[in-house]
Amino acid sequence: MQRVLGLLFALLTLLGVAPGALAAASPHAGTILVAETTGAAPGSTVWVAVVQTLDRGWHTYWRNPGDAGEPMTAKWALPPGWRAGEIAWPAPKRLPVGPIMNYGYEGQVVLPVPIEVPLTARPGQTANITAALNFLVCAEVCIPESVEVSLAIPVVAGAPAPDPKWGPVIAEALAAVPKPSGLTAAFQSAGTKLTLAIAGAPLTGTRAADAYFYPYSESLIDHGKPQVVDRGPKGLTLTLAAVPAATPPTVAAGVLAVDGKTYEISAVAGPAPTGSGGLGVPAAPSGPGTGLLVALGGAFLGGLILNIMPCVFPILSMKAAALAAEGGDARAARLPAMAFLAGVVISFLGLALAMQAARAAGAAVGWGFQLQSPVAVAALDLVMLGAALNLSGLFEIGTSAQGLGAGLASRGGVVGSVFTGVLAVIVAAPCTAPFMGPALGFALTQPTPVALAVFLSLGLGFAAPFTVLSLSPALIRRLPRPGAWMDIFRKSLAFPMYGAAAWLAWVLTQQAGPAGLARVLTAGVVLGLAAWLFGLGQRRATVQGDRLALGLQATAALALAAAVALVIVGAYPAAPGSATSAAAAATPGELPSEPWSRERVAALQAAHRPAFVNFTAAWCVTCQVNDRVAFSSDEVRAAFKRAGAVYLVADWTNRDGAIAAALAEQGRIGVPLYLVYGVDGGPPKVLPQLLTPALVADALDTAAKHTS
């Protein structure tokens, strides 16, 4: 097919070009032959180059021209014993023309060729080198050319000097020729799809920006079809449209262009190398600075909105108690406010670095990844329980019982405020507020400094309301003065923390089953005992004055209990197989559901059936709220039945690389995400992260309608 198209181009051109033009130098491609050095030594290899200067809008072709065109060929006339090697082809650029894709060059083209000089060459002689070149130069029309170029090279006894003009040009061209770089590549061919996976040190952490594979063979792939990229921590995977062949290919060789660099690869049939996929498609390119500015703004707005998401309420209640304790003293509130801001920012930056490190190590992680570990969930559960016991007055942190309200949840102090900021970020991770998803999805496709800038903006937005309130004397003065009411208020705020601990225990049940729940409940009882002993020691020390002895006893009891709790929690492995499926939990009201998979979505689209995909997790509070507000309603159940839609649940409670990749394809790194596929196929509609029954019902009714 490619040859036929090339001949058609030539035939159409000949209809409007005089016959004599075929033998003349092209007016659109000035062609010369130059050498890298001013001479050639016997027994050496000298590099010469065909240099073409193309008019604006005109191009020539690569060794594989793509769907149409012809590569340059050269027939050499050399002195006896001299030999010309193959052209060292620089990486091409894509030259799309309508539905077809060509590969070639524009502007100045430098094609190096090695010339072997025989030992019998005699210094003082001059070697005349001639090349008869045949090539196509094309714009709207293609002109087939046959030109002859010559070069005289003196034979010298010693090492020849570089040519002052063309030496650097040829050296630069040789440096830019794609070369093998220790990459491991494999491909799998099935029908009309060819999957090419590449991994290795040069591609570790690649952004896969505009990644493209230029095959050496003209008949390996359909050049005009798009190449779909799946990033990996150590490489990438390209899904290509294969050309049907009677005999499956044994090798897929060519040039990989990615992130502004090119590599020569030769893939053999076999399984994909480790780390070559799983992180999803790269973010769509944007204008200079535009993507970052939008991401920074989205992250800041998302951080602001995160303050009103359900998962953050328990922790912010602690900060509310601390702010109320200031009793209108703006000066006293400033240092804790800045400490809270520091705790939030440091935690967000720490999460960003942890996610970048995990992805570089090959893990497909996203927002809230730490709660995909049962051990992390159990540990956070104990932290919540400990904070609740502190708010209830069972013990104090960093002060005596006489300083009630000066602990973690009241006056706080610098350490307490930093800790509150850290804890707020940890428990905020299960939530994804509006504007956050696209911003964080962009961040994790960028270099680490850019990702840190986006996470910094998110942290500033999250901490802004309490920080601004704490730094505003006018607002501080409106708060009531300290009094007996503070003790009641403080203890009432313990109950959201108890609720958070109970929720985390339920999450652990989804991940590790009843055995994991039993262990964390046991650890909670031991922690409660430790807190009571510690508080008892504090009170006895205050009354009897023996602070050192009783303080050491209480501290020892707390340390022992904490050690026992950590051993109990950390001793068990994650046991997803024994856990209750979160998909079942995500379908209250007996709304029928199926597990999500790419294959199932494709099958439903092929059958022209609408599909609703719920990307959820047991640890995602927003997900659970939506499940109970929207998906449990009679209105939504009726809409599913009316539309004939299939409800698919992508359960991300435990780590799943396929779900992480699907989220990345939508520019997201966390849940919830809701996608609605219509009967007409095409890309899905993305719903907001906070749902109502009416919104879901309207989306399903729209998906069931034919638009054409």
Are 88 and 24 in contact by the 8 Å Cβ rule? The answer is no
Q: CATH no. for residue 691?
A: 3.40.30.10
User: Does any domain span residue 553?
Assistant: yes
Same domain, 444 and 362: yes
Q: What is the DSSP letter of 226?
A: -
Angle, helices 634-643/693-703, rounded to nearest 10 degrees: 0
Same domain, 542 and 682: no
Same domain, 38 and 95: yes
User: Does any domain span residue 510?
Assistant: yes
User: Does any domain span residue 280?
Assistant: no
Q: Which residues pair with 461 in a beta bridge?
A: none
The residue among 548, 572, 596 that closes a domain is 572
Q: Which residues pair with 193 in a beta bridge?
A: 190, 241
- Taking CA atoms, 238 is separated from 178, 199, 209, 362, 594, in Å, by 18, 12, 12, 18, 29
98 φ/ψ angles, rounded to the nearest 5 degrees: 60, -130
User: Does any domain span residue 278?
Assistant: no
- Taking CA atoms, 185 is separated from 89, 188, 269, 273, in Å, by 21, 11, 9, 7
Q: Which residues pair with 238 in a beta bridge?
A: 196, 229
Q: What is the DSSP letter of 17?
A: S
What pLDDT score was predicted for residue 317?
A: 60
The residues, any chain, with a CB within 8 Å of residue 641's CB and separated by 6 or more, are: none
The residue among 509, 537, 572 that closes a domain is 572
Same domain, 307 and 452: yes
User: Does any domain span residue 284?
Assistant: no
User: Does any domain span residue 601?
Assistant: yes
Q: CATH no. for residue 19?
A: 2.60.40.1250
User: Does any domain span residue 693?
Assistant: yes
What pLDDT score was predicted for residue 510?
A: 75
Q: What's at 304, amino acid-wise?
A: L
**Rounded Cα gap, residues 297 and 274, in angstroms:** 36
> Taking phi first (over 0 means left), then psi (-120 to 50 degrees means alpha), and beta for anything else, what does residue 681 get?
left
Same domain, 493 and 606: no
The three-state DSSP-derived secondary structure of 589-604 is HHCCCEECCHHHHHHH
Same domain, 565 and 417: yes
Give the predicted TM-score (pTM) of the model: 0.49
The DSSP element (H or E) to which 254 belongs, if any, is strand 251-258
What pLDDT score was predicted for residue 381?
A: 77
What pLDDT score was predicted for residue 411?
A: 39
What pLDDT score was predicted for residue 180?
A: 82
What pLDDT score was predicted for residue 287?
A: 41
Q: What is the dihedral of CA 681, 682, 685, 686, to 10 degrees?
A: 130
Compute the half-sphere exposure of residue 123: CA atoms within 13 Å on the CB side of its CA: 9
Same domain, 98 and 207: no
Same domain, 188 and 172: no
**Rounded Cα gap, residues 366 and 233, in angstroms:** 13
- Domain enclosing residue 516, as ranges: 291-572
Same domain, 615 and 563: no
Same domain, 156 and 195: no
364 φ/ψ angles, rounded to the nearest 5 degrees: -90, 90
Residue found by looking up tokens 């409940």 in the block: 521
CA angle at residue 413 from 408 to 418, to 5 degrees? 70
- Is the peptide bond preceding residue 374 cis, with omega within 30 degrees of 0? no
Look at the chain and report how many structural domains it folds into: 4
Sheet holding 126-138, edge to edge: 73-77, 126-138, 142-154
User: Does any domain span residue 17?
Assistant: yes
Q: CATH no. for residue 258?
A: 2.60.40
Q: What is the DSSP letter of 629?
A: I
Q: What is the mean pLDDT of each run of 10 residues along the chain (708 residues)?
A: 43 35 55 93 94 90 90 94 94 85 93 95 92 88 86 92 92 90 88 89 80 92 87 87 80 91 92 81 50 81 76 60 56 74 87 71 56 72 78 63 34 67 71 68 72 87 81 64 65 78 78 74 79 72 55 62 60 44 44 89 89 87 80 90 93 79 75 89 84 91 77
Same domain, 493 and 347: yes
**Rounded Cα gap, residues 444 and 438, in angstroms:** 10
Are 188 and 267 in contact by the 8 Å Cβ rule? The answer is no
**Rounded Cα gap, residues 659 and 673, in angstroms:** 11
Same domain, 75 and 139: yes
What pLDDT score was predicted for residue 20?
A: 28
